[in-house]
Structure 1
Amino acid sequence: MEIKPGKNIAIKVPLHKWASTVAFYRDRVGLKVKKELTNSVGFVFGDMTLWIDRVERQSQVDVWLELFTEDPDRALEQLGSPRRDELEPLDEVNGLWTSDPAGVVLLVRNE
């Protein structure tokens, strides 16, 4: 089964660090804003979108990655990773949450 990189990377940032993190990627790195939402800013990051997400009840930064596959359930078996449905709702997305051995969150989904 093929598993390949998705189109999104998310950095989950505590509330008190969010504005300065967005400013860093926009003003210092020079990334172009692709989309702005209430709690998230997406930047053009090569062929991907880098999302800086504001998380109210978070004390540290997390990096979340997206992986594409035809069968998310089979991919989860191949990865041998735990299912992490409690992380965030997946509205209208055919996929599931998991994590790697280091704790990096992975969204495994259909393209």
Structure 2
Amino acid sequence: MALIPLKQTITVYPPGNDDPWNPVPTVPFTLRCRFQEGVEVVTDEHGREVVSSAQIFFDKFPDITAAHTFRYTDESEIERSYDVASIGRKRWLNGKAILTVVYVK
């Protein structure tokens, strides 16, 4: 059970391989999440400050990296594509991850 209700779903697109001789097929998958729009300034993996347009909350520790792309369809059937700006983990006192927050741009 998640710390917050995860009522939405998002489609996750793994990064592809640019090698023309040995391409790796990427299979998109869906995850339950909570999508929250809001502007925040976060630090990306290169140490630069970037503006995040939304936050995506996932339960525990999903297999997501900064190279993944997300596609979200809202209640009015508008589909948007997002790239990762930063990934953060929220942890219990025992050190286990309870939430993963992905800040997207």
Whose helix proportion is higher, 1 or 2? 1
* Larger relative strand fraction: 2
Common topology (TM > 0.5): no
Q: What is the TM-score when the length of structure 2 is the normalising length?
A: 0.26
TM-score with structure 1 setting the length: 0.25
